[in-house]
Amino acid sequence: MTPHIAVLDDEARMTEVLAMLLRREGHEVTCFTDPRACVAALGERGFDLLFTDLKMPGMDGLAVLRAARRLAPDMPVVLMTAHASVATALAAVREGAFDYVEKPFDNEACKALAQRALQVTRLQRENRYLRARLRQLHALDEVVTESPAMREVFELAARAARSRATALVSGESGTGKELVARAIHRHSERVQGPFVAVNCKAFAGGVLESELFGHEKGAYTGASQTRAGVFERADGGTLFLDEIGEIDLEFQAKILRVLQTREVLPVGGAKAKLVDVRVVAATNRDLRAEVAAGRFREDLYFRLAVIPIRLPPLRERPEDILPLARHFLARWAGELGRTIAGWSPEVEAWLLRHPWPGNVRELENLIERAAVLAREEEITLADLLIEPGPSAAAAVAGGGADGGADEALPLQAYLDRAAERRIRGALARCQGRRAEAAHSLGVERTTLYRLMKKFGIDGE
């Protein structure tokens, strides 16, 4: 492949002279006289080498160098200067320059310098490819699936990874959306960069802006120092925005602007910062329906869903249930230092029959619990601590004779009574241990405490 070199100098004659010299060596050359146009091109095209003048109006060579380190970290940059000095050379090297050349430059020396820099580029590209390929092979080992639907999902993720296009991963909670986002990152050329994940639902609006975009010192009460946001921390890598459907319309506009301009403005800041980030977003909502209802911006939806990836729930791919269960059992048995051979036929039949509303996360939690509580080397139904149905829950709570009366209750009262029975039953089985009861119910402890207070349950 013909090397592609960028040449930047505010004097057009100088770019033409250097371009002629490099083209004679068989290189493709693109000339720039505007530093900002050159920086913009670096973010859009793949150059193998950049020659840039040091002294230019508006934006000098060191500023261009810094931008190049963000946008194309592996591309060598050679500074050209008519004011060469030891201080200039040291400053350029400290900023990451490959070398510098003094004007008027010697043709042979300049050609030799270009050859050395391009050789470095070739070696870096080969190493990057081999490292990425190695990570891809290991990443595929982490995928446990036998269903054609999930194989298609990960094949699509691998193809999507070859670009910097945004991807929108949709699916029910617990289906593995972050796993797909990580697979996209590991299959991409950004594998050496950071993978940063943030749950948009976990922050209030004002806090989320600071978390994503960062803030300047003194921007608000408590901002004692400048802090970079996740967009900056993910520079050169991948940013995973989970629960993107939970942000409000006002903040959606700010996200859209960042995706369009690739610039973030910290809270309290006056100057936007350029970032090179590949965004993968995820949601358990139907964003098309949210757009139709006016709760999600249509332009942001299309900006995010350049590559849409839908994850099927576990109930739609039953062929994955037992392989995943074996995978989780091996992991947890190893962590616990236990020898567990497997499970009884009754357990296997239950696993295949259960609808798995919590998807893969529910399955993993169940297997972890079974691995902890298994009395023998084979897991039994009793080790699963399966939640009883309505009639069994009523019996546990001593309300078996009231089933007919429940039917006459208003719907909300009926649901509250059923929830109260489930909670009392779980607390009874766990001997009042609330954390364990919350785990068995599949809810957070704070949720359990709130419901106990609502129903007047003391937990004793």
- The pLDDT tens digits of the residues spanning 328-367 come to 999 888 888 888 889 999 999 999 989 999 999 999 999 9
Is 89 within a domain? yes
Q: Which residues of 132-153 are buried (b: 16+ CB within 10 A; e: fewer)?
A: beebbeebeeeebbebeebeeb
Rounded to an integer, what distance in angstroms lies between the CA atom of residue 340 and that of residue 293? Answer: 50
Tell the residue number behind the tokens 């900056």, with chain if given. Answer: 232
Rounded to an integer, what distance in angstroms lies between the CA atom of residue 401 and that of residue 66? Answer: 76
The reply to whether 320 and 296 lie within a common domain is no
What tokens appear for 111 in the block?
A: 């050609």
**What are the percentages of helix, strand and coil residues in the chain, rounded to 5?**
55, 15, 30
Rounded to an integer, what distance in angstroms lies between the CA atom of residue 26 and that of residue 125? Answer: 20
CB count in 10 Å sphere of residue 204: 8
Last residue of a domain, one of 96, 125, 154: 125
Helix then strand count (H, E) for the chain reads 21, 16
DSSP 4: E
What's the residue count for the chain?
Answer: 460
The reply to whether 149 and 96 lie within a common domain is no
Tell the residue number behind the tokens 């290189």, with chain if given. Answer: 27
Is 90 within a domain? yes
Q: Is the dihedral of CA 410, 411, 413, 417 positive or negative?
A: positive
Instruction: Give the Å distances, CA to CA, from 357 to 70, 166, 362, 441.
Output: 43, 29, 8, 13
The rounded Cα 335 to chain-centroid distance in angstroms is 26
Is 161 within a domain? yes
DSSP string, 387-424: PP-HHHHHHHTT-GGGHHHHHTS-HHHHHHHHHHHHHH
Phi, psi (degrees; rounded to nearest 5) at 265? -115, 110
Is 281 within a domain? yes
Q: Which candidate, 415, 420, 351, 356, places its Cα nearest to that of 379?
A: 351
Is 442 within a domain? yes
CB 78 within 8 A of CB 69: no
Amino acid in position 403: G
Rounded to an integer, what distance in angstroms lies between the CA atom of residue 127 and that of residue 122? Answer: 9
Ranges of residues in the chain with a pLDDT under 50 are 136-141, 389-405
The reply to whether 170 and 93 lie within a common domain is no
The reply to whether 101 and 64 lie within a common domain is yes
CATH no. for residue 449? 1.10.8.60
Amino acid in position 331: R
Q: Which candidate, 300, 211, 301, 309, places its Cα nearest to that of 258?
A: 300
What tokens appear for 46 in the block?
A: 């793949």
CATH no. for residue 175? 3.40.50.300
The reply to whether 155 and 286 lie within a common domain is yes
Rounded to an integer, what distance in angstroms lies between the CA atom of residue 388 and that of residue 121? Answer: 63
Q: Which candidate, 335, 66, 309, places its Cα nearest to that of 184?
A: 309
The reply to whether 284 and 408 lie within a common domain is no
Contacts of 57 (CB under 8 A, 6+ apart): 10
Is 14 within a domain? yes
- Give the E-state strand segments of 234-316 in sequence order: 238-242, 263-264, 273-274, 278-283, 307-310
Tell the residue number behind the tokens 């040291």, with chain if given. Answer: 90
Last residue of a domain, one of 259, 281, 312: 312
The reply to whether 296 and 345 lie within a common domain is no
Tens of pLDDT, residue by residue over 366-380, are 999 899 888 888 999
Last residue of a domain, one of 71, 95, 125: 125
CATH no. for residue 118? 3.40.50.2300
The reply to whether 291 and 188 lie within a common domain is yes
The reply to whether 100 and 155 lie within a common domain is no
Is 134 within a domain? no
The reply to whether 275 and 407 lie within a common domain is no
The reply to whether 160 and 302 lie within a common domain is yes
H helices of 234-274, in order, are 249-261
| Domain range for 292 | 142-312
CB count in 10 Å sphere of residue 41: 17
Helix 321-336 crosses helix 359-373 at what angle (to 10 degrees)? 40
The reply to whether 290 and 351 lie within a common domain is no
**Number of structural domains in the chain:** 3
In this prediction the pTM is 0.55
DSSP 106: P
Is 378 within a domain? yes
Question: What integer pLDDT is reported at residue 401 of this predicted model?
Answer: 40
Rounded to an integer, what distance in angstroms lies between the CA atom of residue 207 and that of residue 222? Answer: 12
Rounded to an integer, what distance in angstroms lies between the CA atom of residue 390 and that of residue 400? Answer: 9
